[in-house]
């Protein structure tokens, strides 16, 4: 598959749709206009890649809906050179959005098949997260902590404590919390012990699964 003018046109339309749905951050909209989402998906979905919908990827997982990606990214308020941890690499699309915003990205995926596939894809495309690892995102990445931002891209039945602990003071955790559907939740670390919590709309994600081994 290639990236063509036609794809670019479809991306511009998608960015317009997201802007009408309330996404205001121009850097985020610009990422949507730039990143070739169709290349992150199976070729059979190429014709649908610029609809505002989630689609299946490998290992029974999904590439998140563009609106969801944009909404979560907007909440993070990423600035150049910030250290951002992503839980749930999946297709790598959200990773690419964070890289477009010039973040230093650390990302974790617990499905081996997806981890391998997406790591190869990153190499092929020249996307360079600081670290992309196979592991359990519940634990975060203690060796690289603290982070300016942490984004969880799977539905978390509860907020993993290690993720709270790995935030800088002033850092933000964006996490969809819930079992069947999830409330998008933003935590801002105010001090060692205090977190401010804000809740946003309801979303639906594949579950964040804990490794039992
Ligand atoms: N950011 C991805 C979203 C993929 S869906 C994208 O844009 O495509 C969520 C992903 O989270 C899935 O790939 C799933 O395997 C992964 N996941 C679920 N539980 C996890 C965990 N405990 N640690 C790391 N990844 C996890």
pLDDT tens by residue, the chain, 213 residues? 799 999 999 999 999 999 999 999 999 999 999 999 999 999 999 899 999 999 999 999 999 999 999 999 999 999 999 999 999 999 999 999 999 999 999 999 999 999 999 999 999 999 999 999 999 999 999 999 999 999 999 999 999 999 999 999 999 999 999 999 999 999 999 999 999 999 999 999 999 998 754
What pLDDT is recorded for position 210?
A: 84
- The structural architecture, per CATH, of the domain 5-203 is 3-Layer(aba) Sandwich (3.40)
What pLDDT is recorded for position 94?
A: 98
For residues 32-54, one letter each, b for 16 or more C-beta atoms within 10 angstroms of the residue's C-beta and e for the rest, the string is bbebbbbbbbeeebeeebbeeeb
What pLDDT is recorded for position 212?
A: 54
Report how far residue 17's alpha carbon sits from residue 46's, in angstroms, rounded to the nearest whole number.
Answer: 19
> In a mutational test of the pocket of ligand 1, which residue from 62, 67, 88 has the highest number of ligand atoms less than 8 Å from its CB?
88
Neighbours of 143 (CB within 10 A): 7
Distance 108 CA to ligand 1 centre (A): 8
> In a mutational test of the pocket of ligand 1, which residue from 72, 105, 107, 110 has the highest number of ligand atoms less than 8 Å from its CB?
110
Which of 45, 41, 43, 46 is closest to 57 using CA atoms?
Answer: 41
Question: Interior CA angle at 2 toward 29 and 80, to 5°?
Answer: 35
Report how far residue 54's alpha carbon sits from residue 65's, in angstroms, rounded to the nearest whole number.
Answer: 4
Report how far residue 5's alpha carbon sits from residue 167's, in angstroms, rounded to the nearest whole number.
Answer: 40
Question: What are the pocket residues of ligand 1 if the criterion is a CB atom closer than 6 Å to any ligand atom?
Answer: 61-64, 87-88, 90-91, 93-94, 108-111, 114, 136-138, 153-154, 206, 208-210
Sorted by where each begins, the domain ranges of the chain are 5-203
For residues 69-97, one letter each, b for 16 or more C-beta atoms within 10 angstroms of the residue's C-beta and e for the rest, the string is bbbbbbbbbbeeebbbbbbbbbbbbbbbb
Report pTM.
Answer: 0.97
Q: What is the DSSP string of 43-69?
A: GGGGGGTTSSS-EE-STT-EEPPHHHH
83-87: strand order across its sheet: 131-134, 104-109, 83-87, 147-152, 167-177, 182-189, 195-203
Active site residues: 64
Contact yes or no for 118/132 (Cβ under 8 A): yes
Contact yes or no for 32/15 (Cβ under 8 A): yes
> Atom of ligand 1 at shortest distance to CA of 94?
7
What pLDDT is recorded for position 49?
A: 96
């Amino acid at each position: 598959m290639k990236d063509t003018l036609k794809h670019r046109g479809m991306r511009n339309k998608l960015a317009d749709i997201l802007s009408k749905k309330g996404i205001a951050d121009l850097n985020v909209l610009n990422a949507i206009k730039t990143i070739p989402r169709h290349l992150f998906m199976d070729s059979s979905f190429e014709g649908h890649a610029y609809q505002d919908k989630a689609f299946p990827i490998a290992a029974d997982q999904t590439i998140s809906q563009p609106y969801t990606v944009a909404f979560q990214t907007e909440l993070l308020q990423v600035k150049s050179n910030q250290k951002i941890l992503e839980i749930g690499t999946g297709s790598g699309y959200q990773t690419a959005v964070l890289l477009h915003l010039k973040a230093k990205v650390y990302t974790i995926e617990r499905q081996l098949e997806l981890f391998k596939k997406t790591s190869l894809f990153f190499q092929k495309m020249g996307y360079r997260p600081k670290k992309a690892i196979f592991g359990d995102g519940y634990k975060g990445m203690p060796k690289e902590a603290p982070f300016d931002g942490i984004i969880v891209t799977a539905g978390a039945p509860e907020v993993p404590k290690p993720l709270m602990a790995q935030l800088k003071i002033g850092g933000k955790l964006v996490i969809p919390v819930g079992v069947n559907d999830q409330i998008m939740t933003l935590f801002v670390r105010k001090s060692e012990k205090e977190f401010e919590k804000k809740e946003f709309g309801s979303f639906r994600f594949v579950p964040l699964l804990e490794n039992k081994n």
